[in-house]
């Protein structure tokens, strides 16, 4: 009979992490200094493929454009998929780190933009390289198949779907479980998760409003799209405060409001771009319908010559952790980490396309968070009620402390994988 590896067995495998850490730290800093935009991760993908190949994996590149899949077949047993995303953001880094990004790149729209790893995907790559290497070195200790997936385009909700559309399900073995993690605000050295919804569904929309332009001194000749847009932005705030129950959760954020080019010219149109986060399918349906109702009603009230155009930009699915698999991960973590390092957390309003893999394969998936803040700084901020002042993901100042964030993420992936992989029968 096969059995799952104990915490003691995981500790034996992870003894080799110490000697590996200097190399993983150098890798992390290199990727941090050389970020790449979504679906442009050629350099990062090349590094991941090279590391997997050297560790003895069967490597397939260019899955879904720049994705990398590594397979380590190690006898009969379960198949475990470990996923890391690789892309960076069009944000100018202001961390002041010696290895800070100074990169610019051309985005999908042809614009030259700054690029920075301000969400932590560089740490995710280093984590998976480390876990894949350690598990390869310890092939004598487990049986099964390990699938390491380096995913492109998470920030634009393209990458997971691109890999699936490129035959991921047909070209590679079906995993028994899909595991992933994300560095977040929290004390470094801790892991946190829960069963059920773990990251929100997200919908991004563009709304184009049509008016009639005129001279700024003659507003009576216009149908002012600026006033129309302002009314819509304010009214949209009432969806969450007046239409969503206090026991539910939703976020409606307007991130872009564009109209006109000169102060004394009333423009013909205005553009609003907004983002919606929800944790329930019914709430999502209601919020999106309310947005459409408010936008059309305000345009009609303004006498707009045309109905507004509402265009979806991207969508992230609700990411739901399988209850049985989540409990198994939590038990494995409690067996390896000390009790104070394993936290329970509610769902985060951030969004992820990680859940696409488990849904497509119809297998359980589990996603958890790894703290990235200096524990002392985090504790002081919490005691002072100033946690909201710590730089969060997507901030120009977001930068996880390297240690113990780096080793904790590697440990969590190894322990999580070993909760499924089997020990050879004695």
Distance CA 142, CA 75 (A): 9
Q: What is the pLDDT of residues 73-127, one digit of tens each?
A: 999 999 999 999 999 999 999 999 999 999 999 999 999 999 999 999 999 999 9
| pLDDT, tens digit (0-9, with 9 covering 90-100), for 203-256 | 999 999 999 999 999 999 999 999 999 999 999 999 999 999 999 999 999 999
Annotated binding-site ranges for Mn(2+): 119, 121, 155, 182
Name the CATH topology of 201-316: Alpha-Beta Plaits (3.30.70)
Q: Is the peptide bond before 404 cis (omega within 30 degrees of 0)?
A: yes
Distance of CA 274 to the CA centre of its chain: 18
pLDDT in tens, 130-183: 999 999 999 999 999 999 999 999 999 999 999 999 999 999 999 999 999 999
Residue 8 token pair: 């003691």
Q: What is the average pLDDT across 340-355?
A: 94
Scanning 74-152, the segments in alpha helix (DSSP H) are: 121-137
Put residue 190 in one of left, alpha, beta given phi > 0 → left and psi -120 to 50 → alpha. beta
pTM as predicted: 0.91
Residue 426 — pLDDT band, cuts 50, 70, 90?
very low
Determine the Cα–Cα distance for residues 206 and 251; give it in Å rounded to an integer: 16
Q: Which of 5, 356, 4, 311 is nearest to 159 (CA)?
A: 356
Q: Is the CATH number 2.60.120.1440 carried by domain 3-199+318-423?
A: no
pLDDT for 2 equals: 45
Residues of the chain with CATH 3.40.630.10: 3-199+318-423
What does the alpha-carbon distance between residue 387 and residue 335 come to, in Å, rounded to a whole number?
Answer: 29
**Integer-rounded Cα radius of gyration of the chain:** 24
Binding residues: 119, 121, 155, 182
Positions of CATH 3.30.70.360 in the chain: 201-316
Element (H, E) at 278: strand 269-278
CB 216 within 8 A of CB 266: yes
Q: Which residues pair with residue 104 across a beta bridge?
A: 114
Residues of the chain above pLDDT 90, percent: 96
């Amino acid at each position: 009979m096969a059995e799952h590896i104990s915490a003691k067995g995981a500790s034996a495998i992870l003894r080799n992490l110490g000697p590996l850490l200097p190399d993983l730290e150098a890798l992390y800093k290199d990727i941090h200094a050389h970020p790449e935009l979504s679906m442009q991760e050629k350099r990062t993908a090349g590094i991941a493929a090279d590391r997997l190949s050297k560790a003895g994996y069967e490597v397939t590149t260019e899955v879904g454009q720049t994705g990398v899949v590594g397979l380590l077949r190690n006898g009969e047993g379960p198949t475990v998929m470990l996923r890391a995303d690789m892309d960076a953001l069009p944000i100018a880094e202001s961390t002041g780190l010696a290895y800070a990004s100074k990169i610019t790149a051309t985005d999908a729209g042809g614009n030259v933009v700054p690029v920075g790893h301000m969400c932590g995907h560089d740490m995710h790559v280093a984590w998976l390289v480390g876990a894949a290497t350690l598990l390869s070195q310890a092939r004598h200790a487990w049986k099964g198949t390990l699938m390491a997936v380096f995913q492109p385009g998470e920030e634009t909700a393209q990458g997971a779907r691109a890999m699936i559309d490129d035959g991921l399900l047909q070209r590679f073995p079906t995993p028994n479980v899909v595991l992933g993690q994300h560095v977040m605000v929290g004390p470094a050295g801790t892991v946190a998760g829960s069963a059920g919804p773990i990251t929100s569904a997200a919908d991004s929309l563009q709304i184009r409003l049509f008016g009639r332009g005129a001279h700024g001194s003659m507003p009576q000749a216009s149908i002012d799209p600026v006033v129309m847009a302002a009314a819509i932005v304010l009214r949209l705030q009432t969806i969450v405060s007046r239409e969503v129950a206090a026991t539910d959760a939703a976020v409606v954020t307007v991130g872009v409001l564009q109209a006109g080019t000169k102060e004394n010219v009333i423009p013909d149109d205005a553009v609003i771009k907004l983002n919606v986060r929800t944790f329930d399918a019914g709430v999502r349906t209601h919020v999106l319908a309310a947005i459409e109702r408010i936008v059309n009603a305000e345009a009609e009230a303004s006498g707009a010559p045309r109905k507004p155009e509402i265009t979806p930009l991207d969508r992230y699915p609700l990411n739901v952790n399988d209850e049985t698999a989540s409990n198994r991960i939590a038990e494995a973590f409690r067996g390896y980490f000390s009790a104070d390092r394993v936290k329970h957390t509610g769902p985060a309003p951030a969004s992820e396309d990680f859940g696409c893999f488990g849904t497509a394969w119809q297998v359980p998936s589990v996603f958890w968070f790894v703290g990235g803040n200096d524990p002392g700084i985090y504790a002081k901020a919490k005691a002072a009620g100033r946690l909201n002042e710590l730089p969060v993901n997507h901030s120009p100042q977001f930068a996880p402390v390297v240690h113990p964030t780096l080793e904790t993420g590697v440990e969590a992936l190894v322990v999580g994988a070993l909760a499924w992989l089997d020990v050879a029968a004695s």
